[in-house]
Amino acid sequence: MIAKIVSFVVLLLLIHRGSSSDGGQCVYQGFSTANLTLDGLAAVTPGGLLALTNATFQGKAHAFHPSPVHFLNASSSAAARSFSTCFVFAIVSAYDALSDHGLAFVVAPTTNFSASKAGQYLGLLAGINGTASHRVLAVELDTIMNPEFLDINSNHVGVDANSMISEQRHAAGYYDDASGGAWQDLQLNGRKPMQVWIDYDGLAGQLNVTLAPVKVPKPNKPLLSVSVDPSTFMADTMYVGFSSATGVVLTHHYVLGWSFSLDGPAPPLDFTKLPVLPRVGPKPRSKVLDVLLPLATALLVATVLAAVLSTVWWRRRYAEVREDWEDEFGPHRFSYKDLFHATNGFKDKNLLGVGGFGRVYKGVLPASSLEIAVKRVSHDSRQGVKEFVAEVVSIGRLRHRNLVQLLGYCRRQGGKW
């Protein structure tokens, strides 16, 4: 029985932790099981991402924690209670250097934004300034420069107090503590997750905004530090959440995780539990392929080159000279290749002697196993080629027991056999 009571109390505490709006906290490590108030284009993907926008043009989206938060503090000298929030977002465009409008963290008296506009208004207001009955505080992450709102560039962070003209704005980036506080630029639409911290001191009326890449600890120096009069936006109960809008460029705005706390720091997010962004573009090639592909290409080129050189070498090695007039002398010609192999490449061990106009080698014809003697006529012989062939053919017709039968000849560039 005691165990059941303890379990029931723990369950109540978990419910309080997940949805409390008065002195409690809410933590979303992904949104698969989140109970959010969504409208417009906003949806939770099967993988647990809060997708504020999709491929729809000129649309708007809102996602709010379902329960209102009591911001006014009757028991304190502060006009409003302090709050802290952090979230991980990503802006994923279909194009490398261009994206649509951004997104904003919102504190508003209602979740009904039906009168607001899409495009550069981010789904926040219906005009440049809000109304007294619909006062909002927003931290915008803007990727389009709108001169009518006095934007400084197309990659900035701004604090909006019931107006699209920011109280203060700054180019996106952070002060890197690991580099001695050096400034580091960030690209909001860089398709990579980034983390935002927003801390409001109700006693001082000070709002700090800090931005950094995911897994980089919160920088000590905030990106923006703005004095915000609570009366410009604060009501007793307010809703917290996100707003976004699209224009004419295909862009997805995602929130991967979110935590919020009143009167204390927002709980840190566990990056290992956050959902993964969808891949954009072709699948990255394997690093193994990056190494093996050049090697395989080089090997293939080397193999082809070796084959070509080998073919050229073998052809040149056995190259012969043939002319049309040789046909009249009949089948008295041998291939140089046969004579080369018959004499083992005209090696000295096959040398029989040196006679007039050249050397004589012994050999065996590969096809018939016939023993032969091959005379390699020297290059400086002055005898004409045609006369030489005619003489060989004539002698080949002679038959005598004291004469070695002349079987034929071979012609190769630079010599005769």
Residues tagged in the binding site annotation for ATP: 375
How many whole angstroms separate alpha carbon 379 and alpha carbon 377?
7
Which residues are 252's β-sheet partners?
A: 92
185: tokens are 């630029």
Instruction: Describe the chain by its helix, strand, coil percentages, rounded to 5.
Output: 20, 30, 45
**SS3 assignment, position 391:** helix
Cα maximum dimension of the chain: 140
> Alpha carbon of 127 to those of 45, 58, 70, 168: distances in Å?
31, 16, 27, 19
- Cα Rg for the chain, rounded, in angstroms? 45
Give which of 388, 402, 254, 266 is closest to 332, Cα–Cα: 388
Annotated binding-site ranges: 375
Sheet holding 411-412, edge to edge: 351-355, 358-364, 371-377, 415-416, 411-412
What does the angle CA 89 – CA 138 – CA 73 come to, to the nearest 5 degrees? 115
Which residues are 161's β-sheet partners?
A: 137
Give which of 257, 256, 139, 140 is closest to 191, Cα–Cα: 256
Query: At 179, which amino acid appears?
Result: S
Note the residue count of the chain.
Answer: 417
